[in-house]
A and B are shown apart, each in its own frame.
Chain A
Amino acid sequence: MKRVISFLLAAAMMTGAFAGCGQSQSSSSSQAAGSTAASAAASENVSGQSVTITTWNEPSKDDALNMYKQAEKATGVKVNVTVIPESDYSSKLGQMVSTKDTSTDIMVVWENDLKNFAEAKGIVSLDSYLQKSTINTKDFIPAVSQLSSGMGATYGLPWCAATEILYYNKDMFKAAGISLPTNNWKYDDFKAAAKKLTKNGVYGCALPNTQTWWAGVGGAGDKIYAPSNGQMVIGSGATSFIKDCKVMVDAKEMPAPSSDTTDLFAAGKAAMAWQGSWNIGTYADKLKFDWDIASLPTNKVKYNTLHTGFYTINANSKKQTAAWKVIEYLMSEEGQTINSKASGNPSALKTIANKGAWKVEAAKKVTNWDAITDSLNSGIFGYTCLPSGVTNNAVSKFNSSLLGEITPADAVKQASDYAAETIGY
């Protein structure tokens, strides 16, 4: 019996060892599958097939604004949507790629995952599909082309291009007698306005969130992301922006970091806020005061981070042709227009974006829609290309500095050290 047990233990260990080895082998057939499917795509009739798309956004309940429903009508392919909560999205997709999951055909992949998934051969190159397609890749905003270059092929097509902008409470500005922000506002104008608007328990500006911290750091002159080696590059810009925020926090012009999760701008407790353009759709006509938007104020550099996701085809999908048909529709003018109307996000295709379908009809108080196109032109894919653990850790350090627990210089050093030890073994 002892022998039997010994054998079983040894078998368990061997199984473990082989399991690891098995996982490390990449499927070299996925590329071929992509190109083979592409050549078949033109001729194959995919009508009646069904594909599954994985995303983090709930589709619109209004069929006219539900791009997946419209894709079904246009292509004849049934589109099932799997929604994964945003907080787990990236890791769940990573696990799906790792286990060669076949339950999804199209994955909307985030910027920082695109390269990883391509390296793991979890997604196919779309180049051969694009050669036979009407999608004009030269029409993409420059930031998208830059992101794809260096990967050797196009692995994903952007579902939209969201930007970061300044939201401001018009009523408060008027009451304080301050001229309204414009798209050419300077950073000093912003700081002066925040000082004047701070009164009666209202903050001049809300604290930057995990996204807009980086707009401040980039605006202060730091590169943030180096595509050549994938490293985080922050220094004097981050230090100076943290110092500025600390001054504002100490003067009660900005709230200190806390566990409270209230949106102070929406609650009328902050006169300004730096946030993503997607909040326009969230606020729409729900806020109890007059408000508008502008580009983020220009410090040393005019800067904001672009946000998107990329339509990709799962290398292990058995329905790659049907998946491409659906993607092709979603990237068409009709698909992109529906998406813009539903989400308030512009298309990453310039000619479609210029038509302005992204102007949220319900947000009647917004007049400065040029802020979006202006932000699109100055936006880049920065921190979103870095692992979220690294960027969240940095924001945590920045916040600790605002609370006086470490100096701004130490916060930047600790964040940089952690990034250096984390990125690229």
Chain B
Amino acid sequence: MRRQRSDSRSAYVFILPWLIGFLCFTLFPIVFMVQQSLTNRKLNGVSKFIGLANYKNMFKSAVFWNSFRVTILFTVVMVVVTTVWAVILALLLNRKQKFNSIFQFCYFLPSVVPTVALAYAFRTIFGKNAGLFNNILSTFMGHTVEINWLYQKNTVYFVVFFITLFTYGTGQMMLIFRSGLADVPQELYEASSLDGATFLQKFFHITLPMISPLILFNAVSGCVSALNGSFALLYPLTSENGDPNGMTQVLSLLIYKEAFSNMKVGYACALSVVLFLVAAAFGGLIFGISKKTVYYED
């Protein structure tokens, strides 16, 4: 009995550093954020309790609802696009061929470039007058091409989602899928080959079920990354206003704008609470879907 108690005490001592970290750097900021969302706190420190006024103002704001819609769209599309692309790259790397490690290095290289630097580079590439991509198109077309990639509603999403293929999240997913594919038992493929299964049949009936736990993991981390990490990508590309006409103004951009351009920290905290709830809802939704779709070997 005494031994058991001593073991428990030791265990608690071991988890104490994590617990202190959790209290100081996770729980306290969340509680503080919720508390500040009920004030009209400005960046200069002036603050007064205003109850739910921030939330009432938020739900009346067309800017907020636009940002909310953009956030949902951006998260769903980004998760789908990056996950599919990471699977494709992992499948390519899983094939037995020469120079595989070189290919892997080349695929992963853009992912280790800081997101902000990556975004600025692509902003230059997709410039209207002096952009590299328009210059290449001009060379092939034989006349001057001046497509306003980042400022036109028809092209901005295409460009932004294309750029997400080169972010760190996608590279990380690719490596995880690669390791998962290596663990799929080869005898399953051999048996299905004997039964005359095509490549697509093997992919949908063997590969996908076997790596479905990894898809779940990547989808959840991809969601969190899209919700919180989109700022570093979009701010240099489309500014805090989410140009053109707020089409790329995700909640993280709006939070930044309200806190640091309009100095409304209380309101920004209320927006952060909503973002937190959106992230939780996405997590819950993915886990809900996963119960029916994810395959775990016994």
Contact = CB atoms under 8 A, between A and B. Distances in A.
Interface of A: 1, 5, 8-9, 12-13, 15-17, 19-20, 23-24, 26, 88, 90-91, 94-95, 97-100, 113, 116-117, 119-120, 122, 255-260, 262, 387-390, 392-393, 396-397, 399-400, 403, 405-406, 414, 417-418, 421-422, 425
Given A400-B243, A400-B244, A403-B244, A116 B128 contact: no
A403 B151 contact: yes
A98 B23 contact: no
B31 A16 contact: yes
Contact of A24 (B48, B130, B153): B48
Interface stretch (B84-92, B97-105, B106-114, B259-267): B259-267
Contacts of A417: 62
B53 interface: yes
B40 A392 contact: no
B8 interface: yes
A13 B40 CA distance: 20
A98 B241 contact: no
A24 B42 CA distance: 10
A9 B27 contact: yes
Contacts of A23: 41, 45, 47
Nearest to B265: A98
A20 B31 CA distance: 11
Contact of B241 (A256, A393, A405): A393
Contact of A259 (B53, B126, B259): B126
Contacts of A389: 240, 257-258, 261-262
Interface of A: prevailing SS: helix
A24 B47 contact: yes
List the 10 closest pairs (A to B, CB-CB), nearest first.
A389-B261, A98-B45, A94-B43, A258-B128, A389-B262, A396-B241, A400-B245, A120-B44, A24-B47, A91-B260
Name B's interface SS.
Answer: loop
A98 B261 contact: no
A13 B46 CA distance: 21
B243 A396 contact: yes
A24 B8 CA distance: 43
A422 B61 CA distance: 10
Contact of B44 (A15, A16, A116, A259): A116
A120 B43 CA distance: 10
Contact of B35 (A16, A120, A258): A16
B interface residue count range (under 10 / 10 to 19 / 20 to 34 / 35 or more): 35 or more
Nearest to B258: A389
B129 interface: yes
Contacts of B178: none
Contacts of A116: 42, 44, 46, 263
Contacts of A16: 28, 31-32, 35
Contacts of A12: 23, 27-28, 31
Nearest to B260: A91
B50 A425 contact: yes
B276 interface: no
A94 B149 CA distance: 35
B150 to A, nearest CB: 4
Given A13-B31, A392-B240, A399-B244, A258 B127 contact: yes
Contacts of A388: 261-262
Contact of B130 (A260, A396, A421): A260
A95 B28 CA distance: 20
B148 to A, nearest CB: 5
B39 interface: yes
A91 B123 contact: no
Contacts of B60: 421
A24 B47 CA distance: 5
A31 to B, nearest CB: 15
Contact of B129 (A20, A260, A406): A260
B82 interface: no
Nearest to A88: B260
A288 B57 CA distance: 53
B130 A94 contact: no
Contacts of B45: 23-24, 26, 97-100, 120, 122
Nearest to B246: A396
Contacts of A418: 61, 63
A260 B62 CA distance: 29
A26 B245 contact: no
Nearest to A397: B245
Contacts of A387: 261-263
Given A1-B12, A20-B35, A258-B151, A91 B46 contact: no
